[in-house]
Amino acid sequence: MLIDELKIYIESGKGGDGVARWRHEKSKEFAGPSGGNGGKGASVFIKAARDVSLLARYKHLKNISGENGQNGMRNSMHGRDGKDLILEFPIGSNFTNLRTQQKFSLDKEGQLIEILRGGRGGFGNENFKSSINVSPENVTAGKPGEGADFLIELELIAELGLIGLPNAGKTSLLNALTQTNYKVGDYPFTTLEPNLGSFFGFVLADIPGLIEDSSSGKGLGHKFLKHIKRTKVLLHCVSAENENITKAYNTIRKEIKNYHKVLVEKPEFVVLTKTDLVSEKDADKLVKELKKINPKTFSVSILYSDSIGAFKKEITEILKNSV
pLDDT tens by residue, 82-103: 999 999 998 889 999 999 999 9
Q: What is the mean pLDDT of the segment spanning 115-127?
A: 96
Residue finishing a domain among 154, 169, 196: 154
Q: What residues are paired with 256 via a beta bridge?
A: none
Task: Assess whether 144 and 172 both reside in one domain.
Answer: no
pLDDT recorded at residue 215? 41
Task: Assess whether 126 and 222 both reside in one domain.
Answer: no
Contact in structure between 154 and 5 (CB atoms under 8 Å)? yes
- The CB-side HSE value for 239 (13 A sphere, CA atoms) comes to 17
Query: CATH number for the domain including 306?
Result: 3.40.50.300
Dist. CA 123–CA 140, nearest whole Å: 5
HEC string of the chain equals CCCCEEEEEEECCCCCCCCCCECCECCECCCCECCCCCCCCCCEEEEEECCHHHHHHHCCCCEEECCCCCCCCCCCCCCCCCCCEEEEEECCEEEEECCCCCEEECCCCCCEEEEECCCCCCCCHHHHCECCECCCCCCCCCCCCCEEEEEEEECCCEEEEEECCCCCCHHHHHHHHHCCCCCCCCCCCCCCCCEEEEECCEEEEECCCCCCCHHHCCCCCHHHHHHHCCEEEEEEEEECCCCCHHHHHHHHHHHHHHHCHHHHHCCEEEEEECHHHCCHHHHHHHHHHHHHHCCCEEECCCCCHHHHHHHHHHHHHHHHHHC
pLDDT recorded at residue 109? 86
Average pLDDT, the chain: 86
**Segments forming the whole domain that contains residue 213:** 158-322
From residue 81, give the alpha-carbon distance in Å to each of 15, 103, 258, 278: 8, 27, 50, 69
pLDDT exceeds cutoff 60 at 199: yes
The more confidently predicted of residues 154 and 193 is: 154
Task: Assess whether 115 and 209 both reside in one domain.
Answer: no
Reported as a pLDDT band with limits 50, 70 and 90, residue 187 is very low
Task: Assess whether 118 and 9 both reside in one domain.
Answer: yes
Task: Assess whether 178 and 304 both reside in one domain.
Answer: yes
Count of CB atoms situated within 10 Å of the CB of 247 = 11
Task: Assess whether 245 and 200 both reside in one domain.
Answer: yes
pLDDT exceeds cutoff 90 at 272: yes
pLDDT in tens, 42-85: 999 999 987 777 888 898 898 999 999 999 999 999 999 999 99
pLDDT recorded at residue 140? 97
Residue finishing a domain among 137, 154, 171: 154
pLDDT exceeds cutoff 70 at 226: no
pTM confidence score: 0.66
Task: Assess whether 30 and 134 both reside in one domain.
Answer: yes
pLDDT recorded at residue 29? 62
Task: Assess whether 310 and 278 both reside in one domain.
Answer: yes
Dist. CA 81–CA 7, nearest whole Å: 28
pLDDT exceeds cutoff 70 at 141: yes
Reported as a pLDDT band with limits 50, 70 and 90, residue 1 is low
Reported as a pLDDT band with limits 50, 70 and 90, residue 112 is very high
Closest CA to 294 of 264, 321, 270: 270
Task: Assess whether 170 and 74 both reside in one domain.
Answer: no
Task: Assess whether 27 and 164 both reside in one domain.
Answer: no
Query: CATH number for the domain including 137?
Result: 2.70.210.12
Task: Assess whether 211 and 273 both reside in one domain.
Answer: yes
Q: What residues are paired with 199 via a beta bridge?
A: 202
Q: What is the mean pLDDT of the segment spanning 263-288?
A: 92
pLDDT recorded at residue 47? 97
Residue finishing a domain among 154, 188, 205: 154
Counting the structural domains of the chain, the total is: 2
Reported as a pLDDT band with limits 50, 70 and 90, residue 159 is confident
Reported as a pLDDT band with limits 50, 70 and 90, residue 30 is low
pLDDT recorded at residue 216? 44
Contact in structure between 146 and 14 (CB atoms under 8 Å)? no
pLDDT recorded at residue 151? 96
Task: Assess whether 134 and 166 both reside in one domain.
Answer: no
pLDDT exceeds cutoff 80 at 224: no
